[in-house]
Chain A
Amino acid sequence: MSLKQFISDQSRRMAARSPWIYRINAGSCNGCDVECATTALIPRYDVERLGCQYCGSPRHADIVLVTGPLTARVKDSVLRVFDEVPDPKVTVAVGVCPISGGIFRDGYAVLAPLSKYIPVDVNVPGCAPRPQAIIEGIAQAIEIWRQRL
């Protein structure tokens, strides 16, 4: 193994320990957002130990958490914000809403599933999912992200 190979392996291993998270609310009822924002961040479920950090700007993000069934109203904004996230990035769909529309699936303004519009890498089902499930989803997203780096 050459030195160059070694350095690139090591730097990839290090970089994979710093996934920054950004949340997009695509018309969620806020249940999933509460689970993401507060529960997954309170001391008991600290995601910072995985190196994660919630960031305010999509441009700093590596892992994008999307909640909600993608309503027609927010579709353009969601796609625009998603494009602002620099590559390489991983998408995690949180809740059943982005998978199928959940309890809103019959709504006239609901465009779910989300995967028709943006590439979803990990699905975390549940209405709303438990914090442990969200952390598990983030951990899987980190694995995928490591390969993309």
Chain B
Amino acid sequence: MTESFYAIFAMLVFPGGLFALALGLALKGLDRRLAARLQRRVGPPLAQPLYDLVKLAKKRTMVPNIASEPVFLGAPLIGAVSMALAAALVPIPGFYTPNPAFGDLLVVLYLLTVPAVALMVAGSASGSPFGAIGFSREMAMMLAYEGPLVLVVAAVALRTGLGQGGWVSFSLTEIVAYQRTHGAFLLDPVMWPALLAFLAFYPANLGIIPFDIPEAETEVLEGPLLEYSGPALGLFKVMSALKAVVVLGLGIALFFPYAPDGAAGLLVHLAKLVLLMLIGVSVVRVSCGRMRIDQAFRFFLKWPLAFSVLSLAVVALA
């Protein structure tokens, strides 16, 4: 009884759900603010993403005539819920360990593909040609970055498993615990190729500028999101805010989960998230141009894939 209560609490309130949403909105606000500062603008207030959400909740949702309504309105909901669940599965080192009964790293990987699929479904259900272009681009991006990501995760799991004297270990709790006793993978030269591949993966997954090709507003008018308005669009914003928390949190868990125990662990985790968002997202976002889809596809099949295969080989041999 209490167990299932904690499970629901984890998904709706503390590490998932509300907490992750607040965190994600704050990170997005910081990102927009820093991006503006880097361009020597004043920038929006920190709570701007929250204002946007409240605004969207008050607007009308319009469904295009040619769209299939249940799919059109269901896609954002599924995307947002999947990310809320995923946020409950990512550990906060030293503070929160997810219940292993919910699932481990593999479940997080599966859940991470859901937002991209939701965007694809949304794009094709909207019936708009721009949505269809967004759909095909999103699919190409997913094919490109999903492979390296799986190999990176396999490398981390293998390293942890071998280090513990076993085979692979896909438990995030064990990965975090192993690094906290044996040193973070960030400082482990054997893991550097995997780290590089991961660094290429997350801007693509978060859809920020060198890789925001599916939603490029100047080319395909935000692609899959073009036909959305009001609360449905708001759900997509919720989804992307939660995704930032999940993906960055996953990066922290996989590569540098150093943290003291207790509440200080939570603070250190928040500090790392903010740092990653500012350095890894805002600075990258304002200093790059957008790639073309074929360039991005080729890039992913060249460097991140090579690095992730290399890392798997190195880890297996080391």
A positions within 8 Å CB-CB of B: 11-12, 14-20, 43, 46, 48-49, 51, 53, 55-57, 59-60, 62, 84, 86-88, 149
Residue B59, interface by CB 8 Å = yes
By a CB distance below 8 angstroms, the chain A residues around B50 are: 14
Contact with A along B43-72 (1 / 0, CB 8 A): 111011011101101111110000000000
A46 touches B45 (CB 8 A): no
A60 touches B58 (CB 8 A): no
Q: A46-B43, A86-B60 are in contact. List 10 more A-B contacts (CB 8 A).
A: A14-B50, A15-B55, A17-B51, A48-B32, A48-B43, A48-B44, A49-B42, A49-B44, A59-B227, A84-B62
Interface centre among A49, A59, A84 (most CB of B within 10 A): A59
Residue B228, interface by CB 8 Å = yes
Dominant SS at the B interface?
Answer: loop
A43 touches B222 (CB 8 A): no
Give the size category of B's interface with A: 20 to 34
Residue B261, interface by CB 8 Å = no
The segment from B33-41, B107-115, B165-173, B188-196 found at the interface with A is B33-41
Known: A14-B50, A84-B62. A57 touches B225 (CB 8 A): yes
Q: With both chains docked as a complex, state the minimum distance between the C-beta of A5 and any C-beta of chain B, in angstroms.
A: 16
Q: What separation, in Å, do the CA atoms of A18 and B52 have in the docked complex? A: 5
Sample 20 A-B pairs with CB under 8 A, ordered by A number: A11-B57, A12-B58, A14-B50, A17-B51, A17-B55, A18-B48, A18-B54, A46-B43, A48-B32, A48-B41, A49-B36, A49-B43, A49-B44, A55-B217, A56-B222, A59-B233, A60-B229, A62-B59, A88-B59, A149-B58
Residue B301, interface by CB 8 Å = no
Q: What separation, in Å, do the CA atoms of A88 and B60 have in the docked complex? A: 8
Q: What separation, in Å, do the CA atoms of A48 and B39 have in the docked complex? A: 12
Q: What separation, in Å, do the CA atoms of A60 and B60 have in the docked complex? A: 10
* A46 touches which of B42, B54, B221, B222 (Cβ 8 Å): B42
Q: CB-nearest residue of chain A relative to B52?
A: A18
By a CB distance below 8 angstroms, the chain B residues around A46 are: 36, 41-43
A43 touches B40 (CB 8 A): yes
By a CB distance below 8 angstroms, the chain A residues around B230 are: 86
Q: With both chains docked as a complex, state the minimum distance between the C-beta of B144 and any C-beta of chain A, in angstroms.
A: 24
Scan residues 176-232 of chain B and give those whose CB is less than 8 A from a CB of chain A: 217-218, 221-222, 225-230
Q: CB-nearest residue of chain A relative to B222?
A: A56
Q: What separation, in Å, do the CA atoms of A57 and B41 have in the docked complex? A: 24
Q: With both chains docked as a complex, state the minimum distance between the C-beta of B170 and any C-beta of chain A, in angstroms.
A: 40
Interface centre among A16, A18, A53, A88 (most CB of B within 10 A): A18
* A43 touches which of B41, B58, B61 (Cβ 8 Å): B41
By a CB distance below 8 angstroms, the chain A residues around B45 are: 17, 49, 51
